[in-house]
């Protein structure tokens, strides 16, 4: 913990396409999420999660809080498993193809030493660049 992972910033065009896809598929996955799952959801943020925890502790007498952080998880997401998860809910081949292209696209980023590199040097079967839109799968 405490480290930073490289930030891969998509182009404006890629960002527009990503947002369009998210607007289409977001509601499909939203119905699967529990009300208290706050990460990467529209209209929910960290402050709301903290307020919910505070309410649970102060008003309901709860005394335990579990803090979990999946260290470096986005860099380890297996593409195959992610695509299997997404394809269970999304059948449109064009949308799946676009998502696959995002996962495989090279992105210029800085490594832990501040050196610029492309993601082509990374494992092509796992990991998603930070700064990309996240799939709620």
pLDDT digits (tens, 9 = 90+) for 69-107: 666 777 788 999 999 999 999 999 999 999 998 888 776
pLDDT in tens, 52-70: 888 888 887 777 777 776 6
Residue 51's nearest CA partner among 38, 63, 33 is 38
Spatial distance between the Cα atoms of 79 and 99, rounded to a whole number of angstroms: 10
Which is more confident, 60 or 125? 125
**Higher per-residue confidence, 113 vs 71:** 113
Closest CA to 127 of 77, 62, 59: 77
Torsion sign across C-alpha atoms 54, 56, 61, 62 = negative
Within 13 Å of residue 76, how many CA atoms lie on the same side as its CB?
Answer: 4
Could you give the CA distance from residue 8 to residue 130 in angstroms, rounded to a whole number? 6
């Amino acid at each position: 913990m405490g480290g930073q992972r490289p930030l891969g910033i998509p182009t404006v065009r890629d960002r527009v396409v990503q947002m369009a896809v998210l607007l289409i598929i977001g509601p499909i996955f939203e119905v699967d999420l529990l009300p208290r799952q706050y990460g990467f959801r529209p209209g929910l943020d960290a402050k709301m999660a903290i307020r919910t925890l505070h309410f649970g502790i102060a008003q309901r007498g709860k005394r335990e809080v579990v803090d979990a952080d999946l260290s470096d998880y986005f860099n380890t997401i297996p593409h195959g498993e992610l695509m299997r998860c997404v394809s269970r809910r999304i059948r449109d081949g064009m949308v799946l193809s676009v998502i696959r292209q995002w996962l495989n696209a090279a992105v210029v980023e800085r490594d832990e030493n501040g050196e610029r590199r492309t993601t082509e040097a990374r494992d092509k079967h796992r990991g998603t660049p930070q700064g990309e839109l996240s799939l709620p799968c």
